[in-house]
């Protein structure tokens, strides 16, 4: 399917089908998360040049992007080359950014292997790296050739990573699909982890994000709703990195806490009826997600003020009116 000829998604393909998608590209260079190396033979990417990255937030920086560009140059990648990013959101962000700056921009495509990648990070063209622990401060919005989504790739995903992606799944449905939200809560709270059980929900979430991005690629309006939970979520990630937390929350877990905070602020401002925050807290707990700040809230003020969505000194914040409907207003 294609949205305004910008957002191309291929959903539900068997792993071996990816090779057919790549036949039209003369040069393909694979940048992959070292943790998913065992999947490469199943994707039929034999004889493609490959470059492993250690896909952590610490390594999501300009140095890693430079090393990828240096490798592409050494491999003889020209302006018609395609960078194929195989991994989670960190990998697709770094690889897409490197492709965007190499020789002033070559093509790239995403094969997200994590739940967060398949429903969010691998779709929409946002790429970038972190600066001094602040998330995605250097980046580009540049659409991939396609995003290839195969739920079977989630089969060996660690539980913590699966939960991280589940938060982004729930976030997407909070934006505009209450029924899918309730279905996802039921499935997650039952402890179901089989990839096939989530295939329909993954497709729904991917379609929602693709449609939103297709209408507002550069995030001048509608696309901002996708930042639900991220203002405080990114601040939590910054705090944990700066303070060297030994067991930090994942990105999705931090976003879950941020969504509960957004629900509380929505109630305080009268945008939502009382009880919304309590419902999210109960639902998220049932799904195994955290709901409380891992640090004093006032310690996050510096990171919140530096949020990349700030304009004129104020943050464009996503409030929740009810599950299935949100609004954007300055915080």
Residues acting as catalytic residues: 104, 126, 168, 209, 219, 223, 227, 230, 234, 251
319 touches 265 (CB < 8 A)? yes
> For the chain, percent helix, then strand, then coil, each to nearest 5?
50, 20, 30
* Distance in angstroms (rounded) separating the CA atoms of residues 228 and 308: 14
Strands (E), the chain: 2-3, 7-11, 28-33, 50-53, 82-87, 107-112, 126-131, 134-141, 147-149, 310-311, 314-322, 325-330
Is-contact 218 248, C-beta < 8 A? no
* Helix H or strand E encompassing 174: helix 159-176
What are the Cα distances from residue 155, in Å, to 19, 56, 114, 161, 194?
20, 21, 10, 12, 7
SS3 state at 114? coil
* Phi, psi angles (nearest 5°) of residue 3: -110, 115
């Amino acid at each position: 399917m294609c949205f305004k000829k910008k957002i191309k998604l291929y959903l539900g393909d068997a792993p071996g089908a990816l090779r057919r998608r790549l036949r039209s590209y003369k040069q393909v260079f694979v940048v992959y998360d070292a943790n998913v190396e065992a999947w490469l033979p199943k994707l039929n990417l034999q004889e493609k040049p490959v470059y492993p990255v250690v896909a952590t937030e610490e390594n999501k920086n300009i140095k890693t992007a430079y090393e990828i560009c240096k490798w592409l140059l050494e491999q003889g990648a020209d302006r018609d080359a395609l960078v194929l990013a195989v991994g989670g959101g960190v990998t697709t962000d770094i690889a897409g950014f490197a492709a965007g700056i190499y020789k002033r921009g070559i093509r790239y495509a995403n094969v997200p292997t994590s739940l967060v990648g398949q429903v969010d990070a691998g779709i929409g063209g946002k790429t970038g790296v972190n600066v001094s622990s602040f998330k995605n401060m250097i980046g580009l919005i540049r659409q991939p050739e396609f995003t290839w989504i195969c739920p079977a790739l989630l089969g060996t995903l660690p539980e913590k990573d699966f939960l991280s992606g589940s938060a982004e799944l729930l976030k997407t449905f909070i934006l505009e699909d209450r029924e899918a939200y309730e279905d996802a809560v039921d499935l997650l709270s039952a402890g179901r982890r089989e990839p096939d059980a989530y295939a329909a929900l993954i497709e729904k979430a991917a379609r929602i994000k693709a449609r939103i991005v297709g209408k507002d690629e550069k995030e001048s309006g509608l696309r901002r709703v996708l930042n639900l939970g991220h203002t405080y979520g990114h601040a939590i990630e910054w705090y944990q990195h700066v303070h060297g937390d030994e067991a930090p929350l994942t990105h999705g877990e931090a976003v879950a806490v941020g969504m509960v905070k957004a629900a509380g602020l929505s109630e305080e401002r009268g945008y939502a009826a009382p009880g919304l925050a309590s419902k999210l807290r109960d639902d998220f707990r049932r799904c195994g997600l955290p709901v409380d700040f891992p640090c004093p809230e006032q310690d996050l003020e510096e990171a919140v003020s530096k949020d990349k969505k700030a304009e004129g000194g104020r943050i464009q914040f996503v409030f929740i009116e009810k599950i299935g409907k949100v609004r954007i207003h300055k915080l």
